[in-house]
Amino acid sequence: MNVNTLDDLLSAGVSGRKILVRSDFNVPLDGSTITDTGRITASIPTLKALLDAGAALVITAHLGRPKGEADSEFSLGPVAEELSSQLDQYVQLAEDVVGSDARERANGLTDGDVLLVENVRFDPRETSKDDAERAEFAKELASLVGEDGAFVSDGFGVVHRKQASVFDVASILPSYAGKLVQAEVDVLQSLTGDTKHPYAVVLGGSKVSDKLGVIESLAPKVDTLVIGGGMCFTFLAAQGYSVGSSLLQDDMIDTCKDLLARFGDVIALPSDVVAAEGFAADAPHETVAVDSIPEGKMGLDIGPESVKAFAEKLGAAKTIFWNGPMGVFEFPAFAHGTRGVAEAIISATKDGAFSVVGGGDSAAAVRTLGLGEENFSHISTGGGASLEYLEGKELPGVTALAK
């Protein structure tokens, strides 16, 4: 898709101008502590480029799912602190979104200043299904940067949402794709275009229903489709195995039977799993074959034989897309499957494969397990957006930037 880029904006000049930037700061929190700063770090190149060129920035973002009203639990306060640290300069935080504090602070910005307004989802118009309501809110957001302002879309994790700060502002201000959005779209286009084979896709996570669209879209195009995580148990049930108390989507069993009938030659399922007595970090557990999961026990990871088999398939690949952990990687006892598959992808990457980690929990696992982001070709910041693009769906926040 042909869009105006950040380079186009910088060429036009931003010194003395205020630029509205939509970033993705929807980071995980433990209380007020950010447990994974990856999305903030990914935003820095675009913000730095604009600041170095003399712009003043008004940044919008959301955090969590507040119900259209201010809620201290979802304040961007921790984000402002982390952003100040990573930019090495003070980042103001407005106490509202488009209210008197945000307007007053925006009016006072000078070249090189940064203002982060509060969580845009504190205003119900951000996510409204009413076009007029969203347009009204977008107009108020745009007014923060004035008539000479511009909009830079750099929150890839939200471009699949038709929301005011993502979609509607692009029809009001001159609009550009930030470095992050541009890079993400370029990478995803390479996964759907002239892709090098063997092409392997690794899918994990909890629900088959969340990944059904991407399975339908990619299965006819790939050489190997590895399935792990909680979603594998619905496939195993479709093969007739008892899965104990493992996560199971009963209403998807027939769908999985159909997928196996059509794509059984490319779908690879675990042969063994780590079965635990309960969902807890210290739960007693054992490795069992998939046809021997004890009644009352739940699978929380794929087993070592599965890792070995999956690694062999991934080792031959020239293109790899991974979305979703193989187990409950947050618990060390059940992180071995995710680590093993990730290490196989790293090994393939070092041998020349093009590897993409499709955001979300997969990206968090890379950082949590200390696997090194530099060991993969690309780590996406938007799991949902990545999947929807690969399903062939239109991304409203990207189409809004089209020239």
**Among all residues, which ones are annotated catalytic?**
39, 207, 360, 384
Sheet holding 199-203, edge to edge: 267-268, 224-227, 199-203, 319-323, 354-357, 378-379
> Is 137 labeled as ligand-binding?
no
> Is 211 labeled as ligand-binding?
yes
> Is 62 labeled as ligand-binding?
yes
> Is 299 labeled as ligand-binding?
yes
> Is 186 labeled as ligand-binding?
no
Q: Half-sphere exposure (CA, 13 Å, Cβ side) for 399?
A: 9
Three-state secondary-structure class, residue 301: strand
> Is 359 labeled as ligand-binding?
yes
Q: How far is CA 57 from CA 116, 167, 213, in A?
A: 8, 19, 37
Residue with tokens 């105006």: 4
> Is 330 labeled as ligand-binding?
yes
Q: How far apart are CA 83 and CA 114, in angstroms?
A: 10
> Is 26 labeled as ligand-binding?
yes
> Is 93 labeled as ligand-binding?
no
> Is 105 labeled as ligand-binding?
no
Residue with tokens 């209210």: 99
Query: Strand pairing of 199-203 and 319-323?
Result: parallel
> Is 24 labeled as ligand-binding?
yes
> Is 205 labeled as ligand-binding?
no
3-state helix, strand, coil split of the chain in percent (to 5) is 40, 15, 40
Strand runs labelled E in 94-184: 114-116, 150-153, 175-177
> Is 36 labeled as ligand-binding?
no
Q: How far is CA 81 from CA 26, 99, 102, in A?
A: 14, 21, 17
Annotated binding site for (2R)-3-phosphoglycerate: 39, 121, 161
Annotated binding site for substrate: 24-26, 39, 62-65, 121, 161
Annotated binding site: 24-26, 39, 62-65, 121, 161, 211, 299, 330, 359-362
Annotated binding site for ATP: 211, 299, 330, 359-362
